Amino acid sequence: MLSQFCRECQGNYAGYIAIMRCFYEERTALILVLLYLILLTIDLQTVILGRKNLPSQEVIMSEEKLRILRQSHTLHPHPDQVRDPLFTSGSPFFDPHDLVQIKYELLRRVRVDGDSVSHATSLFALSRPTFYAAQAAWERSGLLGLLPEPTDPRQAHKLTAEVLVLLRPLANTMSSTQLATWLRDERQLGVHPRSIERALARPAKKGGPS
């Protein structure tokens, strides 16, 4: 009787071992499937997020155009801050990097659309003195006035008559230090504020008031 019971127990234990082995094999297979699905999901999210990381407009632009804008001093110093709808609509024609185009549209928005100078300059990421200088250049020379004036490296530090024409109206509201900063940012000219003061005072000393 005891021997028969032992044989039945051994048979039951063997069956239990077989069932447990099958269970562990199925569980391992299930874990592998879950790991595969997790990795597949991560890869898919990586692809989707990667598509959202679009290159900046400067990368999309041709390197040749960027090079020319830099060399000609017509590259907007803050193209990412331009908020005018024409330049944020995605149109390839309106380029926030092109400073000449930016200045033209700035003048048009104020003189044709009737926008205020302060609001328009904030949309185009330019200063009020830059607007008034561009306006004076436009009235004097038209579209060519918006182009930077070529400078001889030997005379780049000098205040030419044309530069003084731009500085005189600005001097009514700006200090010599501010004018020096404006010359550095807008004309790539490094001039000491004291030199600006002397240059602006020189005609008065020579000819006096008319």
User: What are the tokens at 105?
Assistant: 């549209």
Q: CA-to-CA distance for 35 and 29, rounded, in angstroms?
A: 10
User: What are the tokens at 136?
Assistant: 């004076």
Mean pLDDT confidence for 177-183 = 86
- 82, pLDDT greater than 90: yes
Q: CA-to-CA distance for 33 and 55, rounded, in angstroms?
A: 36
Instruction: Give the residue with greater pLDDT, 184 vs 96.
Output: 96
Q: CA-to-CA distance for 92 and 201, rounded, in angstroms?
A: 46
Strand partners, 98: 75
* Interval 123-157: pLDDT, tens: 999 988 889 888 988 888 888 888 876 554 444 45
Q: CA-to-CA distance for 193 and 169, rounded, in angstroms?
A: 16
User: What are the tokens at 134?
Assistant: 């561009």
The pTM for the full model equals 0.49
- 42, pLDDT greater than 80: no
Mean pLDDT confidence for 182-204 = 80
Mean pLDDT of the chain: 74
Helix, strand, coil content of the chain in percent (nearest 5): 70, 0, 30
The number of residues making up the chain comes to 210
Decide: 102 and 76 in contact? Cβ < 8 Å.
yes
Q: Which of 30-39, 103-112, 140-149, 190-199 has the lowest mean pLDDT?
A: 30-39
Closest CA to 129 of 96, 159, 106: 106
Give every CB contact of residue 77 below 8 A, 6+ residues apart in sequence: 185
Instruction: Give the residue with greater pLDDT, 153 vs 99.
Output: 99
Query: What confidence category does residue 30 fall into, taking pLDDT thresholds of 50, 70 and 90?
Result: low
- 92, pLDDT greater than 80: yes
The structural domains of the chain, with segments of one domain joined by +, span: 1-53, 63-206
* Interval 60-76: pLDDT, tens: 567 888 888 888 888 89
Instruction: Give the residue with greater pLDDT, 8 vs 189.
Output: 189
Decide: 126 and 102 in contact? Cβ < 8 Å.
yes
Q: CA-to-CA distance for 133 and 145, rounded, in angstroms?
A: 10
User: What are the tokens at 177?
Assistant: 């230090």
Residue 194 pLDDT: 83
